[in-house]
Structure 1
Amino acid sequence: MPFNQESQATFTIELADESAQVAFGQRLGQACNGEGLIFLQGTLGMGKTTLTRGILQAYGHKGAVKSPTYTLVEPYQLDTAQIYHFDLYRLADPEELEYIGIRDYFSSPALSVIEWPDKGTGILPESDMELTLTKKDDGRQALLVANTQRGAAILSKLRTMD
């Protein structure tokens, strides 16, 4: 059954500081259960990569997480999930995604997090969820919007987590 856009689910949370962003990323990662496509929106410096660090930590990643600005994608093969972290900031043309075999990344179960998804318009598939980070006082506000049934299920899990 296709997702009813009129019943589109949203979730908003205020994140006081960097540690709150990482902690929320961990919750989001757990709620995704290793699958999905999340578009991360926000201006430079809003903490998209910081949030992604938390998502990766939810699956046991212990190392550093840097934005793959020049390589476009950083794969993480973890014990319980395959996660792809994309950063399309420097992409000059969406067609460049075809050269890296973008469709292959979405052909098997994985969790993909894409920063600057607007740079891939017309090539990227529809996201399960869009997460937009904006400045709020000294911290950030995260607005999550579900675009699919999977996205709505993720938001539903987030609401029930402590």
Structure 2
Amino acid sequence: MRSAVIWEQYNAAREQLQARIAEKIRRQMSTLVGNMESADLLLVAADGRKLPAHECILRARAPGFYQRHVEATVAAMGRQDGRLREVAIGDIDSSGLEFFIHSVYTEDEMAQFPSQLDEERRDLSRASNRSLAMDESTAELDFHRRGADDRSPEEETPTTGRPPLGDILASGVSYFQILQ
């Protein structure tokens, strides 16, 4: 009996600690969203808007997206000291890309999922041992359009031949399935 009480106390303390750590990480990660100073990539949306991003974060937190849309361009460009590398994401508009990047960095979109998916999310969270309890949204980000080029989304880009991200998102595939 005594060990059951201790186990419950341990689990409660562990969950509280995980929630506090997750919140702190979320706040810190939200400061990186749109941060031009530390970014090493500029993701160019279908409408030409450019969103700053961090290669290491995309690689770690959105490996499927990174492999489909970023990896080939980055490999072809190589390292460019002090310069942002532009990566065309020609199959999704800037608002969708902005939402996706914000979600990758902070996981804030989780509050917007229907309750049916909440159980799936919790199972994924438990399996990955990450807390997804994020209930505070960050300030709305204002990304400014800078030198949008005149390419159309149909022109050849490093993502040609891959399923368009916009189509994937529209098909109802969850954010976590994209990341896998």
Shorter-chain TM range is: under 0.3
Higher strand proportion (structure 1 or 2): 1
Length-normalised TM-score, structure 2: 0.24
Structure with bigger gyration radius: 2
Higher helix proportion (structure 1 or 2): 2
Length-normalised TM-score, structure 1: 0.26
